[in-house]
Amino acid sequence: MNTSKNFVLLGDPIAKSHWKELHEELSDEHDFFTMETSSIQAIRQVTSYAGYAITTPYKRSVMAHLDAFSLGAAMSQCVNTVQVQAGLLIGHDTDGEAVARLLGYNSHGKEVAILGNGPAAHSIQTRLENEACGCQIKLYTRSGIENLVFENSPLVADIVINATGSYELGDANHPLQLVHPHLTYPVFVELAYQGGDTPLLAQAKAAGARCYTGLDVLAKVVETQREIWGLSELAGKGK
Protein backbone atom coordinates (compact mmCIF):
# COMPACT_ATOMS: atom_id res chain seq x y z
CA MET A 1 0.00 0.00 0.00
CA ASN A 2 1.43 3.34 -1.09
CA THR A 3 1.36 5.80 1.82
CA SER A 4 3.52 8.42 0.14
CA LYS A 5 2.28 12.02 0.39
CA ASN A 6 3.11 15.15 -1.58
CA PHE A 7 4.03 18.52 -0.04
CA VAL A 8 4.84 21.81 -1.73
CA LEU A 9 6.51 25.14 -0.98
CA LEU A 10 4.70 28.17 -2.42
CA GLY A 11 6.40 31.55 -2.81
CA ASP A 12 8.09 34.00 -5.15
CA PRO A 13 11.04 33.76 -5.50
CA ILE A 14 12.03 30.32 -4.18
CA ALA A 15 14.84 29.30 -6.54
CA LYS A 16 17.50 29.40 -3.80
CA SER A 17 15.45 27.85 -1.01
CA HIS A 18 16.90 24.80 0.78
CA TRP A 19 13.48 23.74 2.08
CA LYS A 20 13.08 20.79 -0.30
CA GLU A 21 16.57 19.42 0.37
CA LEU A 22 16.17 19.61 4.14
CA HIS A 23 12.94 17.62 4.03
CA GLU A 24 14.42 15.04 1.66
CA GLU A 25 17.43 14.54 3.94
CA LEU A 26 15.10 13.32 6.69
CA SER A 27 13.35 10.63 4.64
CA ASP A 28 12.53 9.60 1.10
CA GLU A 29 9.09 8.20 1.88
CA HIS A 30 7.32 11.39 0.78
CA ASP A 31 7.76 13.82 -2.12
CA PHE A 32 8.52 17.51 -1.78
CA PHE A 33 8.08 20.12 -4.49
CA THR A 34 8.52 23.86 -4.94
CA MET A 35 6.16 26.08 -6.90
CA GLU A 36 6.99 29.67 -7.76
CA THR A 37 3.64 31.39 -8.14
CA SER A 38 2.53 34.95 -8.78
CA SER A 39 -0.67 34.43 -6.78
CA ILE A 40 -1.25 32.66 -3.48
CA GLN A 41 -4.70 31.70 -4.80
CA ALA A 42 -2.81 28.69 -6.18
CA ILE A 43 -3.27 27.09 -2.78
CA ARG A 44 -6.95 26.63 -3.65
CA GLN A 45 -6.33 25.65 -7.26
CA VAL A 46 -3.77 22.89 -6.66
CA THR A 47 -5.38 20.39 -4.31
CA SER A 48 -3.22 17.29 -4.69
CA TYR A 49 -0.95 18.11 -1.74
CA ALA A 50 -1.15 16.89 1.85
CA GLY A 51 0.44 20.08 3.15
CA TYR A 52 1.82 23.43 2.05
CA ALA A 53 4.79 25.51 3.16
CA ILE A 54 4.44 29.25 2.61
CA THR A 55 7.29 31.71 2.13
CA THR A 56 7.83 35.28 0.92
CA PRO A 57 5.74 37.23 0.04
CA TYR A 58 2.61 35.28 1.06
CA LYS A 59 2.90 34.63 4.81
CA ARG A 60 0.16 37.16 5.53
CA SER A 61 -1.93 37.20 2.36
CA VAL A 62 -2.41 33.41 2.44
CA MET A 63 -4.59 33.78 5.53
CA ALA A 64 -7.52 35.00 3.42
CA HIS A 65 -7.58 31.62 1.62
CA LEU A 66 -7.54 29.33 4.68
CA ASP A 67 -10.34 27.79 6.72
CA ALA A 68 -8.86 27.92 10.22
CA PHE A 69 -5.71 28.83 12.14
CA SER A 70 -3.68 27.62 15.07
CA LEU A 71 -3.63 29.90 18.09
CA GLY A 72 -0.09 30.99 17.29
CA ALA A 73 -0.96 31.93 13.70
CA ALA A 74 -4.06 33.80 14.84
CA MET A 75 -1.96 35.81 17.31
CA SER A 76 0.94 36.61 14.97
CA GLN A 77 -1.23 36.98 11.85
CA CYS A 78 1.39 35.02 9.93
CA VAL A 79 1.29 31.56 8.33
CA ASN A 80 4.20 29.56 6.95
CA THR A 81 2.72 26.05 7.21
CA VAL A 82 -0.67 24.75 6.06
CA GLN A 83 -2.13 21.48 7.26
CA VAL A 84 -4.83 19.72 5.23
CA GLN A 85 -7.33 18.09 7.55
CA ALA A 86 -10.66 16.65 6.39
CA GLY A 87 -10.50 18.89 3.34
CA LEU A 88 -9.90 22.03 5.40
CA LEU A 89 -6.79 24.20 5.13
CA ILE A 90 -5.44 25.04 8.59
CA GLY A 91 -2.71 27.66 8.94
CA HIS A 92 0.19 27.42 11.39
CA ASP A 93 3.05 29.77 12.19
CA THR A 94 6.34 28.00 13.01
CA ASP A 95 9.00 30.69 12.44
CA GLY A 96 8.83 31.82 16.07
CA GLU A 97 8.76 28.25 17.38
CA ALA A 98 11.86 27.46 15.29
CA VAL A 99 13.82 30.30 16.91
CA ALA A 100 12.52 29.39 20.38
CA ARG A 101 13.85 25.84 19.87
CA LEU A 102 17.23 27.13 18.75
CA LEU A 103 17.40 29.25 21.90
CA GLY A 104 16.50 26.20 23.96
CA TYR A 105 13.42 28.02 25.27
CA ASN A 106 15.97 29.91 27.35
CA SER A 107 15.24 33.61 27.00
CA HIS A 108 14.16 34.07 30.62
CA GLY A 109 15.11 37.49 31.92
CA LYS A 110 17.11 38.31 28.78
CA GLU A 111 17.12 41.48 26.74
CA VAL A 112 16.03 40.47 23.23
CA ALA A 113 16.36 42.73 20.19
CA ILE A 114 14.48 41.71 17.04
CA LEU A 115 15.45 43.58 13.88
CA GLY A 116 12.76 43.78 11.21
CA ASN A 117 9.08 44.39 10.71
CA GLY A 118 8.05 41.50 8.46
CA PRO A 119 6.09 38.33 9.19
CA ALA A 120 9.09 36.44 10.58
CA ALA A 121 9.95 39.23 13.02
CA HIS A 122 6.37 39.39 14.33
CA SER A 123 6.18 35.60 14.53
CA ILE A 124 9.30 35.49 16.70
CA GLN A 125 8.10 38.36 18.87
CA THR A 126 4.73 36.68 19.45
CA ARG A 127 6.31 33.31 20.29
CA LEU A 128 8.82 34.70 22.78
CA GLU A 129 6.18 36.86 24.44
CA ASN A 130 4.02 33.77 24.90
CA GLU A 131 6.75 32.04 26.86
CA ALA A 132 5.89 34.32 29.79
CA CYS A 133 9.56 34.16 30.68
CA GLY A 134 10.04 37.75 31.70
CA CYS A 135 12.34 38.56 28.79
CA GLN A 136 12.44 42.14 27.58
CA ILE A 137 11.70 42.27 23.86
CA LYS A 138 12.27 45.29 21.65
CA LEU A 139 11.25 45.20 18.00
CA TYR A 140 13.27 47.52 15.77
CA THR A 141 11.34 48.47 12.66
CA ARG A 142 13.03 50.12 9.69
CA SER A 143 12.89 53.59 11.24
CA GLY A 144 14.31 52.31 14.53
CA ILE A 145 17.19 50.60 12.74
CA GLU A 146 17.86 53.70 10.65
CA ASN A 147 18.05 55.78 13.83
CA LEU A 148 20.62 53.40 15.32
CA VAL A 149 22.72 53.59 12.16
CA PHE A 150 22.36 57.38 11.77
CA GLU A 151 23.24 58.06 15.40
CA ASN A 152 25.94 55.36 15.44
CA SER A 153 24.29 54.00 18.58
CA PRO A 154 25.13 50.50 19.85
CA LEU A 155 22.44 47.84 19.93
CA VAL A 156 22.26 46.72 23.55
CA ALA A 157 20.85 43.21 23.97
CA ASP A 158 21.69 39.72 25.19
CA ILE A 159 19.99 38.07 22.24
CA VAL A 160 19.90 39.73 18.81
CA ILE A 161 17.70 38.30 16.07
CA ASN A 162 18.17 39.76 12.59
CA ALA A 163 14.98 39.24 10.60
CA THR A 164 15.59 42.04 8.09
CA GLY A 165 17.07 39.86 5.35
CA SER A 166 19.60 42.66 4.76
CA TYR A 167 23.16 41.96 3.63
CA GLU A 168 24.06 45.64 4.10
CA LEU A 169 23.16 46.25 7.73
CA GLY A 170 26.36 46.35 9.75
CA ASP A 171 28.70 47.08 6.84
CA ALA A 172 30.89 50.18 6.53
CA ASN A 173 28.06 52.22 5.02
CA HIS A 174 25.43 51.02 7.49
CA PRO A 175 27.36 50.58 10.76
CA LEU A 176 25.65 48.87 13.67
CA GLN A 177 27.56 47.78 16.75
CA LEU A 178 26.30 44.81 18.75
CA VAL A 179 26.67 45.14 22.54
CA HIS A 180 25.77 42.28 24.88
CA PRO A 181 25.67 43.62 28.45
CA HIS A 182 25.04 40.59 30.62
CA LEU A 183 25.85 37.24 29.03
CA THR A 184 29.29 35.70 28.94
CA TYR A 185 28.22 33.98 25.73
CA PRO A 186 25.72 36.23 23.93
CA VAL A 187 23.46 34.87 21.21
CA PHE A 188 22.95 36.06 17.64
CA VAL A 189 20.36 34.60 15.26
CA GLU A 190 20.54 35.45 11.56
CA LEU A 191 17.51 34.53 9.42
CA ALA A 192 19.12 35.27 6.03
CA TYR A 193 21.13 32.43 4.46
CA GLN A 194 21.33 32.86 0.69
CA GLY A 195 24.48 34.95 0.33
CA GLY A 196 27.04 33.90 2.92
CA ASP A 197 27.52 35.62 6.27
CA THR A 198 25.85 38.98 6.69
CA PRO A 199 28.02 41.77 8.20
CA LEU A 200 26.14 41.43 11.50
CA LEU A 201 26.67 37.67 11.61
CA ALA A 202 30.39 38.14 10.91
CA GLN A 203 30.58 40.73 13.68
CA ALA A 204 28.80 38.44 16.14
CA LYS A 205 31.11 35.52 15.29
CA ALA A 206 34.18 37.72 15.78
CA ALA A 207 32.84 38.77 19.19
CA GLY A 208 32.52 35.15 20.27
CA ALA A 209 28.73 35.07 20.30
CA ARG A 210 26.84 31.81 19.99
CA CYS A 211 25.54 32.17 16.46
CA TYR A 212 22.74 30.52 14.50
CA THR A 213 22.40 30.94 10.75
CA GLY A 214 19.33 31.09 8.55
CA LEU A 215 19.88 27.44 7.65
CA ASP A 216 19.76 26.55 11.35
CA VAL A 217 16.44 28.36 11.61
CA LEU A 218 15.08 26.72 8.45
CA ALA A 219 16.05 23.28 9.77
CA LYS A 220 13.93 23.92 12.87
CA VAL A 221 11.07 25.21 10.71
CA VAL A 222 11.22 21.95 8.74
CA GLU A 223 11.24 19.99 12.01
CA THR A 224 8.08 21.71 13.25
CA GLN A 225 6.38 21.36 9.87
CA ARG A 226 6.92 17.60 9.88
CA GLU A 227 5.37 17.37 13.32
CA ILE A 228 2.30 19.30 12.13
CA TRP A 229 2.01 17.10 9.04
CA GLY A 230 2.40 13.89 11.07
CA LEU A 231 5.67 12.81 9.43
CA SER A 232 8.12 10.71 11.41
CA GLU A 233 11.49 12.22 12.30
CA LEU A 234 12.78 8.82 13.40
CA ALA A 235 12.56 7.01 10.09
CA GLY A 236 15.69 8.51 8.57
CA LYS A 237 16.43 8.62 4.87
CA GLY A 238 15.91 5.38 3.05
CA LYS A 239 14.22 3.60 5.95
Q: Is residue 42 part of a domain?
A: yes
Q: Is residue 11 part of a domain?
A: yes
CATH number, position 67: 3.40.50.10860
Domain of 128 in residue numbering reads as 97-214
Say if residues 162 and 190 touch (Cβ distance below 8 Å): yes
Q: How far is CA 206 from the centre of its chain?
A: 24
Question: Percent of the chain at pLDDT above 70?
Answer: 92
Kindly state whether residues 168 and 210 are assigned to the same domain: yes
Q: What tens digit of pLDDT does each residue of 29-76 get?
A: 899 999 999 999 989 888 889 999 999 999 999 999 999 999 999 999
Q: Is residue 237 part of a domain?
A: no
Residue that wins the pLDDT comparison between 196 and 102: 102
Kindly state whether residues 83 and 35 are assigned to the same domain: yes
Q: What tens digit of pLDDT does each residue of 185-236 get?
A: 689 999 988 767 888 999 889 888 899 999 999 999 999 999 999 996 544 4
Q: Is residue 55 part of a domain?
A: yes
In the predicted model, is pLDDT for residue 83 greater than 50?
yes
In the predicted model, is pLDDT for residue 175 greater than 80?
yes
Q: What pLDDT is recorded for position 132?
A: 59
Cα 191 to Cα 50, 98, 114, distances in angstroms: 27, 11, 11
Count of the separate structural domains present in the chain: 2
Q: What is the pTM of this model?
A: 0.90
Kindly state whether residues 116 and 60 are assigned to the same domain: no
Instruction: Report phi then psi at 174, rounded to 5.
Output: -135, 65
Pairing of strands 155-156, 187-190: unpaired
- Whole-number average pLDDT of the chain: 88
Q: Which residues contact 230 (CB under 8 A, 6 or more apart)?
A: none
Say if residues 10 and 53 touch (Cβ distance below 8 Å): yes
In the predicted model, is pLDDT for residue 80 greater than 80?
yes
